[in-house]
Structure 1
Amino acid sequence: MATPPQPVRFALGTFSAAGGSPFPGLVVDDRVADLGQALQWRPASTLDVLERWTEVLPSLRRLASEAREWLPLDGLRVHAPVAPRQVFQSGANYRQHVIDLVVAHRPADSAESEEQARARAAELMDRRAREDQPYVFIGLPSAITGPHDDVVLPSWCEQPDWELELTAVIGTPAHRVSPEEALRHVAGYTIANDLTARDLVFRKDMREIGTDWLRSKNAPGFTPLGPYLVPVEFVPDPSDLRLTLKLNGDTMQDESTKDMIFDVARMVSCVSQTTTLLPGDLVLTGSPAGNGMHHGRLLRDGDVMESTITGLGAQRTRCVAEERA
């Protein structure tokens, strides 16, 4: 009996030629098909494609398998793959990262040894995984930029930091879905670098208010996204991917999604208990150990960040300091 042919691997993105408007594209190897021309109903954006994800997926598979006289990828600008309506971000979701934070922030006069602190933190993380919910907050779509665009460091930000994150992109609406059902609502995955102004996370005027995610997370361009949306069928196990971020060529983050406390399914399910996830929405799943605060080295003018996640492509962004008024 003949073995059925393997599906051709493809991804989705948003592209533009010199002087042209952005268009949704299907990527195979180093070629791009303009979906606004290739699909009969002429979608204007990747979000349009995701709005009809279940219906259009067979057409995308057929298109990917056809002989191609498409646009060369190296002649196009790569934008963020999707413009979402909602962005959900997560913190404290990598076991080793949180354990390191607990150890680093124990009181200077503590009688607890580092080994004891690590054991206590590990027990806490095990309990969180069994009994608790992910820590999720809301981001702004206006913070998203392309995977190769410059990142402007605002003049008011004194401690800009990087946070490489696996990101789930929603394909069908999800409301109050269980973890067992959650991944059926995910269209694919992409890369996000969820930058943070560390000096602004906690309010200085009234600490009782707690965290200020508006200012610390949502400056324009603080979320480089992409390069592509890779469909779930080409990401067999989102809990076994390698995240690597290099700063000026030096590896700063290098961890597996196996270290997540809450996996993608639990994260999507958790968000859906409160709100309705819509096609194109982003669920960022937290960042592993190795942020700038850990290394004592935060972002500066001229820094170059290179980010990869297994099978999802690569980002390369340069930091540009905003001139002070």
Structure 2
Amino acid sequence: MTPPVAPAVAADAFGLGTFAASGRTFVGLLRDDLVFDTRPVLGPDATIRSLLADWDAAIDALAEASPSLTDGVAPDALEVLPPVQPVGQILCAGANYRVHVEQIVQSTLRNAGDPRSDEELRAYALQAVERQAQSDPFMFIGLPSAVSGAHDDVVLWTPGDQHDWELELGVVLKADAHRISPDEAFDHIAGYVMSNDITVRDVMARTNVPLTDFVTSKNRPTYFPTGPVILPARFVPDYRRLKITLKVNGTTMQDEMVADIIHGVEACVSYAAQSTRLSAGDMILTGSPAGNAGKHGNRWLRPGDVMEASITGLGTQVTRCVAPPQ
């Protein structure tokens, strides 16, 4: 008899986020799609950032007290803030899922008028995937000012018309990290978080310099909807078994297992820590899987679109796209 497959997330798992009600901010525990106030356990002044100082002890205390927490409310009844306040440093991995790299190379070349056949473009794209797998992770810097909450509107700022989605699995650190190995990475990770790396494709390339403009294309306000919660790492036996799903107006655009990742979580954290000194509360995003707008006939985001995003065990983001203010 085939042994049963263990769940991707532990049955007693819960997430922790930052919520507000009646003008008061508090750490909320998300379980069974309800948010429970942790102030009776942690005290009135606890924040996610303060919990990071002794994260494992805080999770132990909440795991023991979780069954006794009552009067949970739906996240929609609360203001859902980014989990960590204030937001720390953000480092982002790009071109880090095999099928995504294949699709983005093909769509970029096709949109630029490349005359090669679909078969030739796919062969070229597969070569790009293998080159990426043989190299170090590619990472760029995100700006904390671009982070917004899991229910906040996404402003489709101009210049640029080709607004795209990139739902990503990230991690939040619980301890400082510098020049650590991949094997040491999990000693520094508090848990997993999701963030949607909104990207404006038609302003990434600058005509006057041969460089990518990551500030204009990825770092404008509301371009990193993040949360609603951090899922403690202890509840996830294998992050590669998590599933990333994003829908636009109810139509599924991204639906991929993290197993398609090229450089895993531990490799991304270690690589980032080789170049910079990471701190508790910093967030490392590990790249987006297949299914961006280029794969869907250049179906770019428009005002009025609603994105519903989820990753196994990490709750749900619901964000509405709006036009920029006049």
TM-score by length of 2: 0.88
Question: Which of 307, 321, 324 is 2:323 aligned to?
Answer: 321
Deviation at 1:71, TM superposition (A): 4.5
Q: Secondary structure at the match of 2:295?
A: helix
Answering whether residue 254 of structure 2 is matched by residue 253 of structure 1, we say yes
Question: Which of 84, 90, 97 is 1:82 aligned to?
Answer: 84
Please give the alpha-carbon distance, in whole angstroms, between the structure 1 residues aligned to 2:185 and 2:250: 37
Deviation at 1:276, TM superposition (A): 1.9
Answering whether residue 190 of structure 2 is matched by residue 168 of structure 1, we say no
State the match for 2:204 in structure 1. Answer: 201
Alpha carbons 2:90, 2:283 under 8 Å: kept: yes
Deviation at 1:222, TM superposition (A): 0.9
Q: Secondary structure at the match of 2:106?
A: helix
Higher alpha-carbon deviation: 54-63 or 240-249? 54-63
State the match for 1:15 in structure 2. Answer: 19
Q: Secondary structure at the match of 2:91?
A: strand
The verdict on how the C-alpha distance between 1:189 and 1:100 changes in structure 2, with shifts beyond 3 A counting, is same
The verdict on how the C-alpha distance between 1:31 and 1:308 changes in structure 2, with shifts beyond 3 A counting, is closer
Q: Secondary structure at the match of 2:239?
A: coil
Question: Which of 126, 130, 139 is 1:136 aligned to?
Answer: 139
The verdict on how the C-alpha distance between 1:200 and 1:117 changes in structure 2, with shifts beyond 3 A counting, is closer
Please give the alpha-carbon distance, in whole angstroms, between the structure 2 residues aligned to 1:114 and 1:293: 14
Q: Deviations over 1:246-295 (max 9, x none)?
A: 11111111111111111111111110111122111111111112212332
State the match for 2:5 in structure 1. Answer: none
State the match for 1:268 in structure 2. Answer: 269
The percentage of aligned residue pairs carrying the same residue is 46
Deviation at 1:108, TM superposition (A): 5.4
Answering whether residue 181 of structure 2 is matched by residue 178 of structure 1, we say yes
State the match for 1:230 in structure 2. Answer: 231
Q: CA RMSD in A?
A: 2.2
Q: Secondary structure at the match of 1:190?
A: strand
Alpha carbons 1:142, 1:220 under 8 Å: kept: yes
Q: Secondary structure at the match of 2:304?
A: coil
Please give the alpha-carbon distance, in whole angstroms, between the structure 2 residues aligned to 1:260 and 1:249: 25
Please give the alpha-carbon distance, in whole angstroms, between the structure 2 residues aligned to 1:31 and 1:307: 17
The verdict on how the C-alpha distance between 1:309 and 1:31 changes in structure 2, with shifts beyond 3 A counting, is closer
Alpha carbons 2:36, 2:73 under 8 Å: kept: no
State the match for 1:3 in structure 2. Answer: none
The verdict on how the C-alpha distance between 1:122 and 1:76 changes in structure 2, with shifts beyond 3 A counting, is same
Question: Which of 23, 26, 30 is 1:27 aligned to?
Answer: 30
The verdict on how the C-alpha distance between 1:31 and 1:310 changes in structure 2, with shifts beyond 3 A counting, is closer
Amino acid across the alignment from 2:155: V
Deviation at 1:70, TM superposition (A): 4.3
The verdict on how the C-alpha distance between 1:113 and 1:158 changes in structure 2, with shifts beyond 3 A counting, is closer
The verdict on how the C-alpha distance between 1:301 and 1:109 changes in structure 2, with shifts beyond 3 A counting, is closer
TM-score by length of 1: 0.88
Q: Secondary structure at the match of 1:207?
A: coil
Alpha carbons 2:96, 2:262 under 8 Å: kept: yes
Misfit runs of 4+, over 6 Å: none
Q: Secondary structure at the match of 2:309?
A: strand
State the match for 1:281 in structure 2. Answer: 282
Q: Secondary structure at the match of 1:294?
A: helix
Amino acid across the alignment from 1:207: V
Please give the alpha-carbon distance, in whole angstroms, between the structure 2 residues aligned to 1:57 and 1:292: 38
Alpha carbons 2:33, 2:315 under 8 Å: kept: no
Amino acid across the alignment from 1:305: M
Structure 1 unpaired stretches of 5+: 1-5
Q: Deviations over 1:223-267 (max 9, x none)?
A: 111111111122221112211111111111111111111111111
Q: Secondary structure at the match of 1:99?
A: helix
Deviation at 1:297, TM superposition (A): 1.1
Question: Which of 85, 95, 99 is 2:98 aligned to?
Answer: 95
Please give the alpha-carbon distance, in whole angstroms, between the structure 2 residues aligned to 1:286 and 1:246: 18
Q: Deviations over 1:56-106 (max 9, x none)?
A: 3322222224x2234524542222212321011121111111122333417
Q: Secondary structure at the match of 1:188?
A: strand
Amino acid across the alignment from 1:284: L
The verdict on how the C-alpha distance between 1:26 and 1:323 changes in structure 2, with shifts beyond 3 A counting, is closer
